Amino acid sequence: MKTMKGRIGIVLFALLLTLPMMAFGADDGASSYHVSRVLVKFKQVPSQDEVRSFALSHRLRFERAIPEIDVFCFHISRGERVAKAVRRLARDGRVEFAEPDYIRFATYTPNDPMFSSQWDMTRIGLPTYWDLELGDPSVVVAVLDTGIDLDHPDLINQLWVNSDETPGDNDDDDGNGYNDDYNGYDFAGDGWFPSEGAEDPIPDDTYVGHGTHVSGTIAAEQDNEIGISGEAPGVKLMAVRVLGGKLGAGFSSDIAEGITYATDNGASVINMSLGGTAKSLTEYNALKYAWDNNVFIAAAAGNSGDSGNPIEYPAAYVFSMSVGAIDSAGNIATFSSHNEFLEVAAPGVNILSTVPGGLYEGGWSGTSMATPHVAGLAALLYSTYTGIENWQVRSILQKGIIDRGAAGWDEYFGYGRVDCPQILATTLPSDNVLDILTPPNGIKFRTESLAAFLWNPVAGAASYRITATLPTGGTYVIDTNVPYYTVHPSQKMPAGTYSVTVQARNASGGVIASDTVSFRR
Ligand SMILES: [Ca+2]
Ligand SMILES: [Ca+2]
Ligand SMILES: [Ca+2]
Ligand SMILES: [Ca+2]
């Protein structure tokens, strides 16, 4: 744990050096077709019965037809690969052609002159998403960091504005408890931000640009003929300064208050490119408040993957999506912390973005740089689907990936690296089924980590029952009315394998949905 002048170990996850990368083989880039869908045209237009028997004989599920051209769209069975299914279908005498449902990539390129150097945006397929959605100005991303250069020409039009507040009069005009919180608030407390527009008064502060760099990745202005483009250039950035000083460090109390401030003032997404090894129940409770209020939280896994690899918080709290860093070849960065809480990987090596003074800098590396790529995608999802809930955003981001490393979830890439075509191919999850969002099945919780469960709220559920079969024999039953559960740090858990079933129950105690997960301790 790093300490500094009595501040606790919350440090920024930026590395300003390029580190050697761990090789995991090549990344094929964005996938080029829907992972479970095929398109079929028959030699003769079939009847409904013929379509049904064709689907049955090939274990397909009919989705829809395009009658004008007599093309039929089917879902293949679980576990089968599209390429194999297409080869098999093409051999069927009834079939004129069978092919994958290809994803067409946008030809759209923003006019921001540095866009060609933004490998991160093209690698994860942002131009594909931009054809559909650039972000809605009602969606606010709170950047809990060192502050934002409010005058940066690529950010000045991107800032959240508290229109009920008058800046610069040292008065709390809107009565929300914070003076002059016009674009956000300075919880780190130098008093220079945001009213003065300066980010940090300490001129030799190495991390002065950290929050500005993170913010540019999320939402730098697009098509303004300057600099770069952010991922979600249509959304707004809330500057919540919780870190300061020469090390870019801050207190849990300021971070917790920043989280509740962002939640109360309309943020849909919180980006936390920061962390430390101590568990803070204050931070935990602030994040619980944010999660209960439909806020999605992205947090950096940490940069200690090659130096002890400790579990770091807030990424490892159940409410945060923990993000690891990949390089431009799609390999995991050696510095990227890896553990049972990692959920996805995103670009975080040699990232170009905005820095204070109206400038830009490439070469920034860290899980700090990966996290805003996930926050930006979450902001696009909130913009795409009116009324989407945070658990749906989390679920789509877990599924909207290219699997990397060991097959399925692994502790380096989590579910995989985020990918826009895959996100767009993922349907909105239903609240009629119960889906345990974390932990991944079969993982091992380290002795020191907070074993926790998060599932989706189920429609019509009055309560949830968690039944755990214990390695010592017997079962342990917990009833709760919230869709998550964290084992308290003081609670002893014997080593061994646990099987946990979560049931959603209606008001009369009937089970309406359930899911089971196993893990080891
Ligand atoms: Ca105020
Ligand atoms: Ca004021
Ligand atoms: Ca720009
Ligand atoms: Ca994997």
CATH number, domain with residue 278: 3.40.50.200
- What is the pLDDT of the chain when averaged over all its residues? 88
Is there a contact between 250 and 10 (Cβ–Cβ < 8 Å)? yes
pTM: 0.82
- List, as ranges, residues with CB under 5 A of the ion ligand 1: 165, 172, 174, 176, 178, 181
Q: 512 C-alpha vs ligand 1 centroid, how far in Å?
A: 44
**Rg of the chain in Å (alpha carbons):** 24
CATH assignment of the domain containing 58: 3.30.70.80
Q: 7 C-alpha vs ligand 4 centroid, how far in Å?
A: 37
The pLDDT tens digits of the residues spanning 233-288 come to 999 999 998 887 666 778 899 899 999 999 999 999 999 999 999 999 999 999 99
CATH assignment of the domain containing 466: 2.60.40.10
- For residue 324, the ligand closest to its alpha carbon is 4
At 179, list the tokens.
Answer: 């003076």
116 SS3 class? helix
The pLDDT tens digits of the residues spanning 195-229 come to 333 444 333 444 568 999 999 999 999 999 999 99
The pLDDT tens digits of the residues spanning 399-457 come to 999 999 999 999 999 999 999 999 999 999 999 999 999 999 999 999 989 999 999 99
- For residue 175, the ligand closest to its alpha carbon is 1
The pLDDT tens digits of the residues spanning 296-321 come to 999 999 999 999 999 999 999 999 99
The pLDDT tens digits of the residues spanning 477-504 come to 999 999 999 998 888 899 999 999 999 9
Do residues 328 and 412 both lie within one domain? yes
Cα separation, 90 vs 75, whole angstroms: 15
Cα separation, 329 vs 348, whole angstroms: 11
- Looking at the 3D structure of the chain, how many domains does it have? 3
Do residues 234 and 364 both lie within one domain? yes
Answer whether residue 298 is part of any domain. yes
List residues with catalytic annotation: 145, 210, 368
At 334, list the tokens.
Answer: 């050696």
* Low-confidence winner among 51-55, 136-140, 198-202, 345-349 (lowest mean pLDDT): 198-202
Is there a contact between 27 and 404 (Cβ–Cβ < 8 Å)? yes
Q: 56 C-alpha vs ligand 2 centroid, how far in Å?
A: 67
Do residues 265 and 177 both lie within one domain? yes
Do residues 98 and 229 both lie within one domain? no
Which residue range forms the structural domain that includes residue 89?
33-102
Answer whether residue 172 is part of any domain. yes
Inform me whether the pLDDT recorded for 344 exceeds 80.
yes
Amino acid at 238: M
Asked if the bond preceding 314 is cis, omega within 30° of 0, the reply is yes
* Partners of 131 in the β-ladder: none
Region 116-132 average pLDDT: 93
- For residue 417, the ligand closest to its alpha carbon is 4
Q: 193 C-alpha vs ligand 2 centroid, how far in Å?
A: 13
Do residues 233 and 371 both lie within one domain? yes
At 416, list the tokens.
Answer: 């995989």
Q: 176 C-alpha vs ligand 2 centroid, how far in Å?
A: 11
Do residues 249 and 174 both lie within one domain? yes
Answer whether residue 431 is part of any domain. no
